[in-house]
Chain A
Amino acid sequence: MLVGIDLGTTNSAVACFRDGAPVLIPNSLGDLLTPSAVSMTEDCALLVGRAARDRQSTHPAMTATAFKRHMGTNKRLTLGRRNFMPEDLSALVLQSLKADAETWSGEAVTGAVITVPAYFNDRQRKATRRAGELAGLAVERLVNEPTAAALAYGIHERADREPFLIFDLGGGTFDVSIVEVFDGVVEVRASAGDNRLGGEDFNDVVVGLVRARIDPNGTLGGMRKSVLAEVMRAAAERTRRALSEADAAPFDIVWDDQAHTVTITAADFEEAAGPLLQRLRDPVLRSLRDSDIRVDALSEVVLVGGATRMPIVRRTVTRMFGRFPNTTLHPDHAVALGAAVQAGLKARDAALDEVRLTDVCPFTLGVDTIERDGGGGIRRDVFQPIIERNTVVPASRVHAFQTVADNQRAIQFNIYQGESRTASDNVHLDKIEVPVPPRPAGEVQAQVRFSYDASGLLEVDITVPATGQSYAFTISEGDGSAGDLEHRRAALAKLKVHPGDEAANAAAMARAERCYEAFLGDRRQHIGQMILAFQGVLDAQEPHAIQDARESLEKALDQLEGERFL
């Protein structure tokens, strides 16, 4: 069975294509969304999902969240005494989703379509692919998140429509895509984005507002600054969500047995978030420019991503486009559903016979070159684009270069991905060299062909007409960070992960502990008693009793802290 997976910064989801429609698969706790969080328990076993997320504020040194922001880098995250690369953690989340899918459907999951932000560069995409392979999934395809949302939106009615704009503001990334549907062909016209803009940044804004009032000297944290930071972040998220429904919301934390409360007004929040809202404009402008479409030619502006629930974001979008956005898609589910549609397309499901999807590459690919300027001087490190951004993929383009000096033995090409005029300011992919016969400068040509396919694989073919020789290269990771995948997969498999039913208990316990820390006085005592009671039931190991106890614990906690959000 092929599934579609939305691997998000804050939450992940898995869906499959069944009976002509995409369907979300619930996890072992019964939720449709699984938080992208991994935590290590005292006995060196791992928790993935909701339980881990609750442990974020009680055990921040043992928990990792938002590791999607570090994908494609070599940053190591420490959980307890082990450290992990971000792709290992993503692999653990994917593994858990795979297990949930197999449990729910009863079939084996052979492959997956995984979504990535449209603006993820080559390194980040390769890291995502590796994460899938580490989890034991055959990654059939990486799909851009706004494209997936467009798929979920566009196949509802097969009628032709004018181009529409997908505005995807998730937990950690922001993507804009302009999509056109005609005759069942879903065609992406342009994509742009910002990899460092998401709900988490808005949480930081709230923390910034609050810090000035709660902790002006920066001394509150003492020796446990990182723990305080996590506690504040969790509280900031709650406050931010509350501000979506009210004009003012409280920010509550309990630290060192003392309660601190600040009230934040929606107006304060909007003002402090001004720079972030300003940053939303640039990708929109770029995608409109690149696709040559005017705002009034758009039929809809479709909002996707949890952070678009914020009224300040919605107001900004309305003012930007001069119309109200379309909110018919479920912001948290759309991407996973779209990934399932793509999985269905891959599996050649009969219901999707009339649907096709074409996507574009979001970044320009090119090489560095030397240019002669008007005054007779030369300039180095000039970026020469070969495949321009927003070209429909798969694409193949050629550009001819020639030698600069006499009797050059070889021509060296550095391959870059990016938009800067200075080549070395872009992301460096690889370096290749071809030998050339020694001739006077300018007499030897090299024709460089870039072939970029839909899954992001770049192949370079260089022909030197003077010798008639051709050289073919496949662009790999320049720094060999792929490492030994088999070895890593084995190491990952050896880790003990709490299975489904245990996870539910762990989740309930973690939530209880978090609430214990968050409340004071009588309520704290009450929670303490409930924890002890639950622990006792767990020790007795009677499955039915455990389930009942867990449910009543959850209900009691719901009463205390309100409906839990995901």
Chain B
Amino acid sequence: MSKAIWTTLGIARTHDETAIRRAYSARLKTIDVDADPAAFMALRDAFAAARAYARRSVAQTEPVLANAAASDDRPGAGDAAEPSAAPPDPTPAKPDWVEDIEAIQQIVYGSAPREATFDEVQARTAHLLDGPAMEAIDHAANVERWTAETILSGMPRTNAMLQPAIERFGWIDRTRQWNCPPAILHVVQRYADCHFIGSLADGDDVKRAFEMLRDPLQPPGARFAPQIERMLQIAATSHPTLQHDFDRDAVAAWTAFLDHRRGQWSYRLKAGAVSKVDAIRRIFSQRGRWRGWLAIVVALNLLRLVVSWHDPSPNPGVPIAVSPTAPAPQLLANKERDIDVAVRESLVGNFGIDDVERNPTLYEALGTLWKNDQSARATQAKFTSDVRDLFERRYNRALPNLSYALAVQRQKLRLEQARAFATRDPAACADLMEGAAVDRIPPAMVERMRELDSRVLLETRKLGPASDGERRIAIPAAIGRDARARSGLGESVFHDALLGKGTPEQRCRTRISVMDAALAAPEKTALSLLRTL
């Protein structure tokens, strides 16, 4: 305890609050607050510190309104805490609200089945909160505190209390204040989480997983493993209070099952955690390796059959792909989180909001889009699709402004793929180089292209004007000559192929040679060409 405090107050160290107060007021009268604010502030700080010292030493007997209370402060739990709401009543009849509170506590902490209690808890809560005793402010504050505590400690049986309490006490507005008590923040989080579950359609995967974790009917199996995994992840990250709804044994069983599954080779292979080489090596290192060889021969033949007529999942070269699973419909609530989810699910690139933050114009554009969608009460799905459109527009407008390095990288990637197509599938090669959408690009290449497209989106700050459809390509003379030489075609054939006429091989060859020439040419001449191709 600093001596300076007692010197400033002018008394000896003491626990007597009255003496401290008297010292403070005596000193205050000697200070001219307006002329010397610093002296006043020093005196005030000393007063506060001395008072805190005095109070620490004396046990706090008076329960205080605003603090989270010990259990003996709950109304109905003891006569001592009963607020003086009405003039003293000679007949000690139990007030209505005490009955309501005791009934709710009995249900919430009891063991009756959950569905049977919902209506009663709701009715009791409504009766408690609308009662005439709530006019008294002290009583209302005590009830508010008790309700928040009970909701949190009695989850999930207290779901029925959420709606009436939140409406009556205006807690959602309260969370917008900077000094909102943590209990109320948690209650509102619980409300949001229940709303999330309630908003899912009945057949939805996540909802089914939720119900399975809440009322387990069968042991864990591979069939629902992905949904359960997703549900557990959601509960761990964005909706933490849902963990209180789950049956503990079910969660333990599922967690063990999922961990085991994650350790298995087949899963790891699918998830790409293990390379195929290692997997094959493992097969061969076991006994019965002839089985491995047989398996490979059979697999290769099957593969050959499969490749020749089966169309694998389309992966167009155009950067924007369609998201296969729509996210659970929910309203936009948290800007950073929603943008992150939308960006990741738009499948444009493999980046998240941290990357977006580094590009202020992009971040701002997303922020404005989010604000508009939020005020239009759009769902996450709609927002994701809007973000995708935004990316597409930005991508197209960014192309004319690409840096030389980035433009070169982009073209080199396309060239590589075109060359890969050139021998087997010249039509695809021609399509790719002419800018049309192409499927049959292998996933690894798609991944690299997507990587590059993300860089384009993230690194471009200034956008060009929105293009008006037709893109005219102007090839500088030097590059044109070089290209023709490389292609080895006649002038008229070359010219026609550039315009899209002629056989696919010719078009393919022409385009490749133009690209080669452009990449070989100096930056100044080739830049605009590389940007527009």
Complex: A425 Cα to B173 Cα, angstroms: 12
Residues in chain B near residue A392, CB distance under 8 A: 44
A294 touches B138 (CB 8 A): yes
Complex: A365 Cα to B268 Cα, angstroms: 54
Q: Give the nearest-CB partner of B67 in chain A.
A: A292
Residues in chain A near residue B64, CB distance under 8 A: 292, 294
Please name 10 further chain A to chain B contacts, defined as beta carbons within 8 Å, in addition to the given A294-B138, A356-B33, A420-B177, sorted by A numbering: A281-B140, A292-B64, A292-B66, A319-B136, A356-B25, A379-B336, A385-B178, A394-B37, A394-B40, A394-B41
B66 touches A420 (CB 8 A): no
Complex: A321 Cα to B176 Cα, angstroms: 28
Residues in chain B near residue A395, CB distance under 8 A: 41, 44
Q: A183-B21, A421-B177 are in contact. Are A356 and B136 (CB under 8 A)?
A: no
Would you give the shortest CB distance from B220 to chain A, in whole angstroms? 28
Residues in chain A near residue B28, CB distance under 8 A: 185, 356, 358
**Which candidate, A29-37, A48-56, A82-90, A370-378, is the interface stretch facing chain B?**
A370-378
Q: Give the nearest-CB partner of B334 in chain A.
A: A379
The 10 lowest CB-CB distance pairs between A and B, nearest first, are A183-B25, A319-B135, A394-B37, A295-B138, A185-B25, A289-B66, A377-B336, A419-B177, A421-B178, A320-B137
A322 touches which of B84, B141, B340 (Cβ 8 Å): B84
Complex: A321 Cα to B40 Cα, angstroms: 35
Q: Give the nearest-CB partner of B185 in chain A.
A: A421
A322 touches B21 (CB 8 A): no
Residues in chain A near residue B136, CB distance under 8 A: 295, 319-322
Complex: A142 Cα to B463 Cα, angstroms: 53
Q: A288-B141, A292-B65, A421-B180 are in contact. Are A182 and B84 (CB under 8 A)?
A: no
- Residues of chain A whose beta carbon lies under 8 Å from any beta carbon of chain B: 182-185, 281, 284-285, 288-290, 292-297, 316, 319-322, 353-354, 356, 358, 364, 366, 373, 375-379, 383, 385, 388, 392, 394-396, 419-422, 425, 451, 453-454
Residues in chain A near residue B303, CB distance under 8 A: none
- Please report whether the interface of chain B is mostly helix, strand, loop or mixed according to DSSP: helix
Q: What per-residue 1/0 map shows which CB atoms of B225-244 lie under 8 Å from chain A?
A: 00000000000010000000
A425 touches which of B175, B176, B353, B357 (Cβ 8 Å): B176
Give residues 78-93 of B contacting A (CB, 8 Å): 83-87
Q: A184-B25, A321-B136, A354-B29 are in contact. Are A396 and B41 (CB under 8 A)?
A: yes
A375 touches which of B34, B83, B138, B237 (Cβ 8 Å): B237
Q: What per-residue 1/0 map shows which CB atoms of B332-371 lie under 8 Å from chain A?
A: 0001110010000000000001100100000000000000
Residues in chain B near residue A290, CB distance under 8 A: 66
Would you give the shortest CB distance from B281 to chain A, in whole angstroms? 36
Q: Give the nearest-CB partner of A382 in chain B.
A: B178
B65 touches which of A293, A375, A378 (Cβ 8 Å): A293
Q: What per-residue 1/0 map shows which CB atoms of B196-225 lie under 8 Å from chain A?
A: 000000000000000000000000000000
24 contacts between A and B (CB under 8 A): A183-B25, A183-B26, A184-B25, A185-B25, A288-B141, A289-B65, A292-B66, A294-B138, A295-B83, A296-B138, A316-B135, A320-B136, A353-B29, A356-B25, A375-B237, A377-B353, A377-B354, A388-B179, A394-B40, A396-B37, A419-B178, A421-B176, A422-B176, A451-B37
* B62 at interface, CB cutoff 8 A: yes
Residues in chain A near residue B176, CB distance under 8 A: 420-422, 425
Residues in chain A near residue B37, CB distance under 8 A: 394, 396, 451, 453
Q: Give the nearest-CB partner of B64 in chain A.
A: A292
Complex: A182 Cα to B28 Cα, angstroms: 12
Residues in chain B near residue A295, CB distance under 8 A: 83-84, 136-138
